[in-house]
Structure 1
Amino acid sequence: MAWVDARDIADVAVEALLGAGHAGKAYGLTGAEALTGEEIASLLSEATGRAVTCASLPPNQAKAHMIANGMHPDVAAAMVELASLAAKGYLAGIETTVSEVLGRPARRFRDFVAGNRHAYVG
């Protein structure tokens, strides 16, 4: 998946709302790169100094785990559905919207992890 940084979403939204030439347009947003679960685990391992692995769970088990950890059941169901689409490659595309609208590249997942390292190492 090409995870998009929430700050890029906000920046594009501000430009679309306040800038000229966006009336009536709809924008698809993605991050700068599509990453596999294994690549994400590697980046997290690198940033934290801890071994992080990617493990697949059966959909019902994944949903139950999310709910047990406080996620609303409807959101957990949506996350499981999203994961099923990702596994089929449907979410691997990369949009250039962030760079087109903002004139700069989308933030990379690696940079997000580095900037938020404190959240992962407690």
Structure 2
Amino acid sequence: MILVTGATGTVGREVVRLLVARGAAVRAMTRNPANVPASLGVDIARADFDNSASLRAAVAGVESVFLLTAPASPSPHHDVALLEAAVAAGVSRVVKLSAIGTGETDDHNRTVGAWHQQAERAVHTSGAAWTVLRPSAFASNTLYWAPAIRSGSPVRNLTGNGRQGVIDPRDVAAVAVESLVSSAHAGQTYTLTGPDLLAVPDQAAQLERLLGRPVTTIDVPLDVARDEMIASGLNSSVVDVIVTGSGWARAGHNAVLTEDVPRLLGRPATSFEAWALDHLGTFAQRRSK
């Protein structure tokens, strides 16, 4: 039995789908079981990272765990809580979804992905065989641009001309599945990127070409972005994570490409263009009534 946490999110739901396609026994952990399609035929664990009893029930009889946490306020607490329950239940393998740049510092000596770094340490010392996945910026992050693009407004750009190895989250899920079903990846940390280094203006230009109409960007200084996010009511710890990561990428520190995805999947990593073509309808101009 493989437990997938975050089973209804961008990566988690694809991990569940791929595991089912391979005939694996899957348990999907979620706070909202109705969001798991019944057609998948998977076991469902209604659980919450802040409820230890629900975690114990979720890991009962499980051999491997895909560990994906997305707390409202950045903290390794959820990872640690799940790991403690998993180890007590005899789980033998953990695949942790982390993030590229974890543990590095930005130009102001602030740690990138500090809470991921703490969670990775907990995974390393858990006693279970582990694999850590550190993906670059998700292609799906651009879905947040859709309202601006549909209205003809410029896309807000916090990372300037900083290029990143933008990755299709479906590739991340595929690597996670390989790591879950094979012991060959134990003790490995994989940095997952797409095939190309792209800045936000590059992504906008590709969308412009595919849509056949202008897609523009506007640079937003990080101090301005910070003030705006705080004013909107966003938690200050979340704002710090966004600003630190964006500044790190803006400075060019995430201009990284690796061959981990093609090496592990036996095929090229999916391009941003290919991902965009599959999601083009989201960005398309709404028809006037």
Q: Same fold judged by TM-score > 0.5?
A: yes
Larger Rg, first or second structure (1 or 2): 2
Out of 93, 97, 117, the position equivalent to 2:256 is 93
The alignment yields a C-alpha RMSD, in angstroms, of 2.2
Q: Which has the higher helix share?
A: 1
Corresponding residue of 1:32: 195
Q: For residue 110 of structure 1, what is the amino acid of its counterpart?
A: E
Q: For residue 282 of structure 2, what is the amino acid of its counterpart?
A: A
Distance apart, 1:76 and its partner CA? 4.1
Distance apart, 1:7 and its partner CA? 0.5
Q: Which blocks of at least 5 consecutive residues in structure 2 are unaligned?
A: 1-163
Q: Report the CA distance shift for 1:67/1:114 in structure 2 as closer, same or farther (over 3 A).
A: farther
Corresponding residue of 2:279: 116
Percent of counterpart pairs with the same letter? 34
Distance 1:4 1:39 in 2: 14
Q: Which blocks of at least 5 consecutive residues in structure 1 are unaligned?
A: none
Deviations 1:41-87 (A, max 9, x none): 10111122221122211113324555778966544432322221112
Corresponding residue of 2:177: 14
TM-score by length of 1: 0.85
Q: Report the CA distance shift for 1:65/1:106 in structure 2 as closer, same or farther (over 3 A).
A: farther
Deviates most, 4-13 or 58-67: 58-67
Aligned residues: 122
TM-score by length of 2: 0.39
